[in-house]
């Protein structure tokens, strides 16, 4: 079945450090890939997405590239801020008649000043 594996946290960084959160997926077809972010006490917000191979999703300084050859969608940011502290979820949607999102287990990021 479809699955998403992302690096376990927690991840603790200093402000302005470089961030990478790894995410790989298994799917029978060609899924769309997403990163969602959950700030403390809030719901999930879509951070970025990519719908086909080699697409790059970007938002708020975050980027992720859909790599079909490595089945990966790693999240990166060049310089994190304290306000980026949150839980980040990688997810896939295989589309078709199955509309459900399959999530990774989430990675807690804490950015210290």
Partner 1 sequence: DTAVSQTPKYLVTQMGNDKSIKCEQNLGHDTMYWYKQDSKKFLKIMFSYNNKELIINETVPNRFSPKSPDKAHLNLHINSLELGDSAVYFCASSQERAQTQYFGPGTRLLVL
| Binding stretches for partner 1 (CB under 8 A) | 32, 34, 36, 38, 42-46, 49, 51, 87, 89, 93, 95, 97-103, 105-106, 108
Query: Shortest distance, CB of residue 16 to partner 1, whole angstroms?
Result: 26
Q: Counting Cβ atoms within 10 Å, is residue 92 exposed (0-12), middle (13-18) or buried (19+)? A: buried
Query: Shortest distance, CB of residue 70 to partner 1, whole angstroms?
Result: 21
Query: Shortest distance, CB of residue 69 to partner 1, whole angstroms?
Result: 21
Q: How far is CA 72 from the centre of its chain?
A: 10
Enumerate the β-bridge partners of residue 55.
none
User: Of 45 and 79, which has the nearer Cβ to partner 1?
Assistant: 45
List alpha helices for the chain, DSSP H.
Answer: none
């Amino acid at each position: 079945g479809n699955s998403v594996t992302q690096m376990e946290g927690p991840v603790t960084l200093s402000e302005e450090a470089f961030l990478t959160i790894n995410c790989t997926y298994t799917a029978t077809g060609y899924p769309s890939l997403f990163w969602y972010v959950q700030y403390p006490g809030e719901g999930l917000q879509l951070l970025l997405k990519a719908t086909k191979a080699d697409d790059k999703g970007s938002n708020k300084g975050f980027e992720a590239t859909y790599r079909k050859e490595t089945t990966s969608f790693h999240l990166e940011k060049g310089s994190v801020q304290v306000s980026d502290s949150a839980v980040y979820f990688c997810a896939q949607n295989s589309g078709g008649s199955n509309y459900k999102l399959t999530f990774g287990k989430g990675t807690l990021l804490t950015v210290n000043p």
